[in-house]
Amino acid sequence: MSLTYAPGRTTVAVGGELDVYFHQPLHTVLDVAITQGGTHRVELDLRDLSFSDVGGLDILVRAREKAVQAGCGFEIVGPIQPGVLRALQKFAPVMGLPVRPRRGRSSPPDADPPHAP
Model confidence pLDDT, tens digit, residues 67-99: 989 889 888 887 889 888 888 888 777 666 655
Query: Under DSSP, is residue 116 helix (H, G, I), strand (E, B) or coil?
Result: coil
pTM of the entire structure? Answer: 0.77
Q: Which residue type, as a one-letter code, is found at position 36?
A: Q
Question: How many whole angstroms separate alpha carbon 42 and alpha carbon 56?
Answer: 17
The model's pLDDT over 4-56, given as tens digits with 9 standing for 90+, comes to 988 899 999 999 999 999 999 999 999 999 987 666 899 999 999 999 998 99
